[in-house]
Each structure stands twice: as structure tokens, then as C-alpha cells.
């Protein structure tokens, strides 16, 4: 099975990528995964300045998924450019760099700083982090705010860098947001970020997370993510989709491909199984072959076709 695909128009040999935030900048995964064989490392969202994030505890398990309130902890763009991206580039690892900010100009400046950086294949524009000060900062919840960010990033970014907009499931109509950002110049869509959630400890009778609410990931959100990919592919079949949300196995990944994703990110699953990325690639290849597909591309959106 030909597993080749692309991010925008940049070819990659595998459709399986890391998910932003779940493998930091790739270093922890290196002992378990051939990072040059996966589609790309999607880096933890970076901002203009270093940040320490929200108060601890910042992670909670639920029976079906994980809740996090990291709050954009990270080294800032200077640290990313000085330490993390060179580490990846020296090893020949492709990176899709996730950027985040609180103002449109922040995003544009980050895109500008990443122009021409070796190893960077494109940008994932995180307009959907649920762990921000106010809901007004979640640009992806408003089609106009979302498209303002994407237009500014597309104008500032390296023309060779595809720009993917990372969308939130916490909206009533994800198709209208998807349409707005693609009209504004997004080359692709990453779906979905975590779903806003809450866990209360029955013993202390208080929220478990220091930040109170958090983003829910893992198997709990897989059907939500799949529904988003389905709806957006039905409305915008030409727009490349990087699908994510609770993918643990090749058959999970297959569902996203059949719904319309041309690549997938594996996030929460790597916490329990650091080798999940390679395994999902192999299982997806076997699943496609068993169903008679000669290539991944032939299967993209297949579930929309009449039987
Ligand atoms: O850092 C976080 O708390 C975080 C981010 Br930026 C995001 O996009 N999604 C998420 O679940 N957590």
C-alpha cells in the first residue's frame, strides 16, 4: 500500500504524525520511534515568550480520556528556534510547528520568525486551546476572529509553508469556521483540539485540576472528532484534513481516513504506549491492504461515496 500523503502540497512518507502537546518537541519519543519515518513531529504550541502555564495539578485521568490544563507551558519562540528545531533538523525529522498567541499580531510575528527555518514543513495555527484566560481568546469559536488570524499568518508565513488551522469542537457549526479559515487562506485543517471538560474529586469535593476546567482528549472524543472531519469533508472536499482525537489503533485511523482525513495525529495514546505511532502506521497499512486499497489516497473520504 502506498502510504504517501501530503501536508498542503508538501509530500510526506507516512500519514501518521504526533499530536501537538503530546510529545513536546520529540525528544522523549526518540528512544521508541524512528522520528524520521513518521509523517512529522507536531510540536507543542509555542508563543512569543516563555510561559510556565497553569497551576498544578494539570492532568487528570477519566475512564475514557484525559483532561489537561497545561496552559501553554513552553520555551517561547527564541527557545524553540535555538534548541528544539535544530535538534529535530539535525536528525532529519520533519516538524509541523504549532503556534499560539493572544493577538492576531502575535501569530503573524511567530509565522514570520519561522520563515526558512530548516526542517520546518509547515505551521499548525492553534486558535483553539481551551486553557486560556477567557473564551474570547479562543479565536476558533468565532469565524471572523479565526479568519483574521489565518489571513495574517498566511500573509506573514514562508510561502513554502502550508498553514493548517487547528479547530475546536466547542462550536455549534464547525463547517462555518472551516469555510471562513479556508477562505482566509488556510491550506488545510487540523481537527480537533480538546473538548472543554471538568473533573471533580469526590473526596475533596473540589475540581481536580488547579485550573478547574481542562481539555478532554483520548477515546472519549473520538466520535466527536470523526463527526467534525465528516462534516467538513462533506462541505469542503478539496481541503486537506489532519484528523485527530482519540486515535489509538490502525482501525481508529482508518475511520478518520474514510471520513476524509489525508493524515492523522496520534496524541493521548502515546502516554500509555510510546510506540503507538509506528504501530498505527503499520496497522493502518494492513487495514487498507485488507480492504483492497492500493493507496491511502484512494481511501480518503471513501465513506462518503454511495455503496
Ligand atoms: O497547553 C494547553 O493547555 C493546551 C493547548 Br495549548 C491546547 O491547544 N489544547 C489543550 O488541550 N491544552
Which of the listed residues 24, 106, 193, 213 should we mutate to test ligand 1's pocket, taking the one with most ligand atoms within 8 A of CB?
193
135: pLDDT strictly greater than 90: no
Band (pLDDT 50/70/90 cuts) for residue 140 is very high
**Residues 300, 30: Cα–Cα separation, whole Å:** 29
Residue indicated by cell numbers 503507538: 276
pLDDT of res. 136: 85
Rounded-to-integer distance, Cα 194 and Cα 48, Å: 22
Asked if residue 134 has pLDDT above 90, the reply is no
Distance 248 CA to ligand 1 centre (A): 19
Peptide bond into 198 cis (omega under 30): no
Q: pLDDT tens across 210-256, in order?
A: 999 999 999 999 999 999 999 999 999 999 999 999 999 999 999 99
- ipTM of model: 0.99
131 CB burial (10 A radius; 0-12, 13-18, 19+)? buried
pLDDT per position as a tens digit, 243-260: 999 999 999 999 999 999
Q: Is 215 in the pocket of ligand 1 (CB under 6 A)?
A: yes
Pocket flag, ligand 1, residue 268 (CB < 6 Å) = no
C-alpha cell at 229: 472531519
193 lines ligand 1 (CB under 6 A): yes
Catalytic pick from 22, 129, 141, 228?
A: 129
CB 217 within 8 Å of CB 193: no
- Which domains, from first to last, does the chain contain? 5-304 (3.20.20.70)
Provide the 8-state DSSP code for 221: G
SS (H, E, C) 151-179: HHHHHHCCCCCCEEEEECCCCCCHHHHHH
Please choose, from the candidates 299, 263, 301, the residue with its C-alpha nearest in 3D space to the C-alpha of residue 10. 263
- Catalytic: 228? no
Ligand 1: which residue has its CA nearest to atom 11? 215
With a 6 Å cutoff on the Cβ, whether 186 touches ligand 1 is no
List, in sequence order, every residue forming a beta bridge with 124; answer none if it has no partner: 98, 164
- The Å distance, Cα 298 to ligand 1 centre, comes to 33
DSSP H helices, the chain, are 76-79, 85-90, 104-113, 143-156, 174-183, 222-235, 250-259, 269-272, 276-290, 296-299
Amino acid at each position: 500500500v502506498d502510504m504517501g500523503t501530503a501536508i498542503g502540497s508538501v509530500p510526506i512518507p507516512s500519514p501518521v504524525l504526533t499530536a501537538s502537546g503530546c510529545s513536546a518537541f520529540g525528544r522523549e519519543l526518540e528512544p521508541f520511534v524512528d522520528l524520521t519515518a513518521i509523517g512529522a513531529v507536531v510540536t507543542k504550541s509555542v508563543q512569543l515568550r516563555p510561559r510556565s502555564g497553569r497551576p498544578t495539578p494539570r492532568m487528570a485521568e477519566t475512564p475514557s480520556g484525559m483532561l489537561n490544563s497545561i496552559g501553554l507551558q513552553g520555551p517561547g519562540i527564541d527557545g524553540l528556534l535555538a534548541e528544539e528545531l535544530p535538534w529535530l533538523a539535525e536528525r532529519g525529522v520533519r516538524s509541523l510547528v504549532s503556534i499560539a498567541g493572544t493577538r492576531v499580531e502575535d501569530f503573524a510575528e511567530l509565522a514570520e520568525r519561522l520563515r526558512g527555518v530548516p526542517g520546518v514543513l509547515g505551521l499548525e495555527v492553534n486558535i483553539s486551546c481551551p486553557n486560556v484566560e477567557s473564551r474570547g481568546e479562543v479565536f476558533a469559536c468565532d469565524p471572523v476572529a479565526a479568519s483574521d488570524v489565518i489571513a495574517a499568518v498566511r500573509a506573514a508565513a514562508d510561502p513554502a509553508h502550508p498553514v493548517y488551522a487547528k479547530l475546536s469542537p466547542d462550536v455549534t457549526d464547525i463547517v462555518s469556521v472551516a469555510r471562513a479559515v479556508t477562505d482566509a487562506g488556510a491550506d488545510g485543517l487540523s481537527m480537533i483540539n480538546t473538548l472543554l471538560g471538568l473533573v471533580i474529586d469526590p473526596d475533596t469535593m473540589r475540581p481536580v485540576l488547579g485550573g478547574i476546567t481542562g481539555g478532554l482528549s483520548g477515546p472519549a472524543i473520538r466520535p466527536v472528532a470523526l463527526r467534525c472531519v465528516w462534516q467538513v469533508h462533506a462541505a469542503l472536499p478539496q481541503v486537506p484534513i489532519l484528523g485527530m482525537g482519540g486515535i489509538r489503533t490502525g482501525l481508529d485511523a482508518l475511520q478518520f481516513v474514510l471520513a476524509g482525513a489525508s493524515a492523522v495525529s496520534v496524541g493521548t495514546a502515546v502516554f500509555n504506549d510510546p510506540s503507538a505511532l509506528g504501530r498505527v502506521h503499520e496497522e493502518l497499512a494492513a487495514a487498507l491492504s485488507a480492504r483492497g486499497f492500493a493507496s491511502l489516497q484512494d481511501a480518503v473520504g471513501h465513506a462518503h461515496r454511495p455503496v
